[in-house]
Structure 1
């Protein structure tokens, strides 16, 4: 009984308390995001589908994946523009339903240029959702809860990405790739109809109605642009953990696919369990958001440096731990910084640029990492990535100092 009391009062209840105070609309938005992310299960299998089922060469697959990234950039930009013009609610519904139809239609295209155009259009429509979702999140959250609301959305995204590939593999084994496209499409459309039902403007309660009389263009916000440059650099380095790092695990440390899966799965598990309590603990006036993002970047930098310190296989776990903690700090507070900055201008435009920073990193991050490994090897690649992180940290600290000098606490 003492153990049960300890488990409930000392561990479970404090953990659950970190989720308290969030509006029901934020919870609905998180559920819709979870369905949407789990529904995009075709994405992890896309290169395999193109290479094995449609017999495209690896260079063709690389070009198609570049179209994937370009579509993401265009979608993020377009989503921000439309959000400022017609509102986040309509943009989210249009994005979910249309992307569902495009997922279903993509399976019927088999030509190289047709697939390239189809994937570009699919991502352009699907990623309209992101800036609109961030603006909705800001509206449905009280000012003091915005960072934790972002963290809940990140939890939904991580759970969706964790469940998606597993479900996708099962669907491919039983129904083939055609079934995967159908399920992807249907889940996106279902998420759209759920959004229509539970977040209709007539019933949803807005917690923070932000109206700017003289909206500022995000493109003219110098400090915000500097911040986004740092986030592009951070993301290029961070993405190495999902492209070049698995190759490093296999080629240098000779890990099996199962062990690589466990190591990568540790990232999602730690985020699911610890990110919300960590964010709640760090939400304090004594910490600035730029300072916390810089600290997260420092931990991510260490995760790359330790890989070159020793050949001991245990360093892989240490590196993953540093990266995961860095991610848990940097991403929620960078998002919160963007949301707060967006209050003074066109919210959709601000959040579109924030989403585009990650889309741009996707275009360059994977390719640059693969080329560096091929040209200079893994050891030198980690040194180069570490240098990128040093520049990122320097930019963030410069921005923090500049804002403190001007007495802007962000």
Structure 2
């Protein structure tokens, strides 16, 4: 396992300097058969923090990511340590070991130049863009629930001995800068009068004012933030939205875990679910005729339910089949009914808590992507202000209402039903037979 160490990268690679670097790095030049001069290099990064280069030869291709000592989004104004790429690389290596079918392979990491080379995914596209175009992904729920079960279980106390787990927790606890971004952008700024917030104004002004003056709601969010800050249940991707997933109808890969940190399992699942629901609320704004995307909306809600049910089933199976050195090792694989029933009850009680966290974090994500600093293309690409405002208003109202419930939502089906009800009440989702 690689050490997470500081980096000193200072300037962005260009085509010439990157070719020279590839030629001088045997591990990478070998990938291209030593034919470096003929490589085609394009900068393709569309994220907020890093630069990404597509390097293509006649027989091979790689994606190279470079982290500079500032965020790309700020143009150099916001200082950030390059160390974030080391955390991302280590997380990718851990996740690839646990869920190799759904994580791209890392070929090279250079701490000094803050550069990481990984498998180039083709013909995969970013999931968010595919969903905006209403592309169906029939295997996605199965794939991502497998990824979540294997990665969350494999880095948790259910699988790891306490000493090994503590070492990993301490390692990723040093991903301080990116964790601070998560904590501020998700749990703090959207619920305050931060100048970084933005929304479709004036249409959402009233809703935002009510939300930001709702003390009970903000205390609920504070409790979720405390759990994120204090729980170390498993290694999280930390930013598992539909922009961090590349896929085809038959293959799914999870990328960009630069925000990786140990935290509550429901955070990762909830961030994903929240982004899928945001896309659900946005779908009617992309219709050429009323009701055209109703079936695709149903497809999204079905995916959400299948993700949770698949995760819970697979996670419980891993706990039964592989207690290892984890917390259930004292129960082991005894054949007695008492042992089996007790172990299953323990796991399912834990999963009930993860479910409630999942729903709550999904709602917080829906709020922050609507009125905070970092929005989502699902809404930003809606040109018509009125259509965008209706979609945003419905998703915002749904998230606030669920978070405000004293006992939460009982099941993932209830969350999907509430989403459908709020979409219909906004006049965005036609009644389906």
Common fold, TM-score beyond 0.5?
no
Q: TM-score, normalised by structure 2?
A: 0.24
The structure where helix makes up a greater share of residues is: 1
The structure where strand makes up a greater share of residues is: 2
Which has more radius of gyration?
2
Q: TM-score, normalised by structure 1?
A: 0.25
Task: Tell which has more relative contact order, 1 or 2 (C-alpha 8 A, sep 6+).
Answer: 1
